[in-house]
Structure 1
């Protein structure tokens, strides 16, 4: 990417094209500002591996607002904190390790999961990415996340990190994947499955039996949430990714290659694909299986998954710092 460019060069006419629209309301957790203050402190104390310029950019991104908007009905900031940590640390970590190798990302993944599941129980000696994940586990224990739910949350985070690992093959070779490969990886790297798990921390959803959350109907809804958020993230970040070599995991680039189409044609097809997933979500929401005593509760849970999707998108549309011209943090990790 050029060190500087005009907004006209950066956006190449994309800002006037249609954007996703959701029929769900969006909310924000009442403690979002307190969570922001903690986020600033994480950056100052844990992210000393990043340059000062990168840290100052991260502060403007307000990444913990994604958690505050995605799960706005959590009762306390204590319950919000582990999700906010996963969100902000995961995003900043992804920025930092942007151009590491697949092997290196798997090694990083293994260390993170060992810290999250407690198999590596000692507190890391140095502040940083790994220390923050250790802190996440301590905070989860403090707010008494049910063990089964926490284990699912950690497994979902592991799947996200596996997705990060697999996309490195395409980033480092500057190769655009086929659509089928993109969809498989993007479902993971959208980072949404941990959110689908964490929505259960709201209201009384933990009363719903585990088999409901494993039902194919609900699992498909999770996939749709992940793909909708992955695609709308790609649409928002497209101007930045047009100008950076290696940013190949973007639905518009994938469709442009798949169909040998123009950028604008591929963009419109990406919107169409997103809307197909949204329509499928609404159909599945309307035609849930009869979950007997839990029918109303499951309907409300799925409704809150829609609010989660809308909330994450609201962060994207309210953000004026991360995906704008000159706002993105460049990867600073030096691959071995």
Structure 2
């Protein structure tokens, strides 16, 4: 009862607390409305495993808008479609398998990866999560995503799902992880690293050599982007995750436990950590290593990763239904 009272006091003060801010402009893809309509169709045709209530809630989440805001400079909706698929299907899949076991999540991951990499080229016989991932690969082939970038995209996608598997240990036992474990897992489960590679399909970035994408400075920028988005997601979803047992992978909860401090103090420390990551991101962008003739292009690529971060945050602040009381979708996978 005491904890409930404390949480209610925190909710009252939450609106007055500072929020993340980014020095990057906010854009949205011109075909975002058409992509929304396709997203609704995916839910109606592929997500028949979900209850009608869950499907209607997912429509209100506008998950495809994350892709439209994160990569607003893709030339066509054909190029946007695989990213919107990964985003919406990945998020809805995460909801559906919310309370499955670590072992089950690894089996699911292996099945998905065989489909998106082409290791298993056979179209799934039934519509659903796996069929939609098979469609993702077909759409990527149609719009001629360079194979080396697609491989980086799918490899990082696997790391997201591995993160989903590892966090199940904490969800199923209603355990808050140590900070070091949280950061390791959250860097992947934010789902951002596939976005960092997909940003390279915009403008002329696909011409950058692998030495750029694989450079430690650039990989650190990917990590910082992942952590910033993971943290701002935690800040926005905090009211929901304080009210549900098992939602333990939230930085504010982690810091409250680790530092033995109040919720408000933990919130402030979470935002401070986020802002430190943002400062490091900007420092790295300003002091990029020498990339010869690609120098200006690399700087612009990093800038568009920043625009991706701001775009994802804009989705979080514009489409808030997913994190409102009663707006989230409970896991329906039979455990």
TM-score above 0.5: yes
How has the CA–CA distance of structure 1 residues 78 and 326 changed in structure 2, closer, same or farther, with 3 Å as cutoff?
same
Q: Which residue number in structure 2 is paired with residue 325 of structure 1?
A: 325
**Whole-angstrom distance in 2 between the partners of 1:227 and 1:129:** 27
**Whole-angstrom distance in 2 between the partners of 1:138 and 1:73:** 22
How much is the aligned-residue C-alpha RMSD, in angstroms? 1.2
SS in 2 for 1:322: helix
Q: Which residue number in structure 2 is paired with residue 32 of structure 1?
A: 32
Q: Which residue number in structure 1 is paired with residue 246 of structure 2?
A: 246
Q: Which residue number in structure 1 is paired with residue 165 of structure 2?
A: 165
How has the CA–CA distance of structure 1 residues 106 and 10 changed in structure 2, closer, same or farther, with 3 Å as cutoff?
farther
Check if 1:105 corresponds to 2:108. no
Q: Which residue number in structure 1 is paired with residue 232 of structure 2?
A: 232
Check if 1:88 corresponds to 2:94. no
**Whole-angstrom distance in 2 between the partners of 1:172 and 1:297:** 45
2:28–2:68 Cα contact (<8 Å) kept? yes
SS in 2 for 1:92: helix
Deviation digits for residues 52-92 of structure 1, max 9, x if unmatched? 00000000010000000000000000000000000000000
Alpha-carbon shift at residue 319 of structure 1 (Å): 1.0
Alpha-carbon shift at residue 13 of structure 1 (Å): 3.2
Deviation digits for residues 115-149 of structure 1, max 9, x if unmatched? 00111111101100000000000000000001111
Query: Which structure 2 residues correspond to residues 148-163 of structure 1 after superposition, within 5 A?
Result: 148-163=148-163
- The two structures have a TM-score, normalised by structure 2, of 0.97
Q: Which residue number in structure 1 is paired with residue 115 of structure 2?
A: 115
Structure 1 stretches (4+) deviating beyond 2 angstroms?
Answer: 7-13
Q: Which residue number in structure 2 is paired with residue 259 of structure 1?
A: 259
Alpha-carbon shift at residue 12 of structure 1 (Å): 4.7
Aligned length: 329
5+ residue gaps, structure 2, are 1-6
Q: Which residue number in structure 2 is paired with residue 276 of structure 1?
A: 276
How has the CA–CA distance of structure 1 residues 297 and 101 changed in structure 2, closer, same or farther, with 3 Å as cutoff?
same
- The two structures have a TM-score, normalised by structure 1, of 0.96
5+ residue gaps, structure 1, are 1-6
**Whole-angstrom distance in 2 between the partners of 1:251 and 1:131:** 34
